[in-house]
Amino acid sequence: MHSEALVGLLGELPGTEVTVRAGKVNVHIPAIGDTLRLAIRDVLGFEQIIVPTGDPGLELGIRRGHEELPLIVTVDDVVFMPAYAADMLAPGAEVRVPASPDLIAYSEMHRDVRALGRAVQAGAEFDDDILAATLLVHRCFLAGAVRVGLWPVRVAAWWEFCHAAVGDRLPLGPFRPDPTFDQLLADVAQARRQTIQPARQD
């Protein structure tokens, strides 16, 4: 009953495409161009809500280890909790840990990371400490998205572009080893090989 109710409520959200297979539910949200992939057993609870735009949404609690992570699925977005900055960096790394929002919408993440990428691409000048902190926050956004079952290849492409362009000069890192993030960047590289103008992807 738990799984049937969950799938039914997700399917009632306009704009979503829901499929179920082998104990997993996939929720494709065309508006953001990504698919949320969840093991039904990891969904600890869910509740129908109305988001600030007035649209319907579904708030879920997702089990990750000993944590319960908040997740909100709306008609055109997914809202999640960024990862902690300290968890991104290797022990002993010296960097100013920036403030980060408690929750971030996928669309906001995409907008912010893309905006920084375009500014770097255009040769904009930034204070190195501020730029390092911003790249770290954006890495937290990406890690937060991945750990709840999203796979933001287009957003990661902009982050990787920025880090490759300016990361060597910044007081940032080193990052902890993260095979999952490495795989995300491998998918970025594959996507770039399939496009003529990789730096201009949205």
Task: Provide the residue-wise pLDDT of the chain in tens; the chain has 202 residues.
Answer: 478 999 999 999 999 999 999 999 999 999 999 999 999 999 999 999 999 999 999 999 999 999 999 999 999 999 999 999 989 999 887 767 677 899 999 999 999 999 999 999 999 999 999 999 999 999 999 999 999 999 999 999 999 999 999 999 998 879 999 999 999 999 999 998 887 554 555 6
Residues 106 and 29 in one domain: no
Number of domains comprising the chain: 2
Residues 90 and 73 in one domain: no
Strands 67-74 and 43-50: unpaired
Taking the CA atoms of residue 200, residue 120, residue 144 and residue 104 in that order, the dihedral angle to the nearest 10 degrees is: -90
Residues 6+ positions from 141 with CB-CB distance below 8 Å: 82, 104, 109, 112, 113, 155
Show which of 61, 80, 99 is a domain's final residue: 80
Show which of 80, 100, 119 is a domain's final residue: 80
> Is 0.85 surpassed by the pTM of this model?
yes
Show which of 80, 103, 120 is a domain's final residue: 80
Residues 98 and 181 in one domain: yes
Residues 6+ positions from 57 with CB-CB distance below 8 Å: 13, 48, 49, 50, 51, 72, 73, 74, 75
Residues 52 and 104 in one domain: no
DSSP 62: E
Segments in 42-127 forming alpha helices (H):
85-88, 106-121
Q: Which domain holds residue 21?
A: 2-80
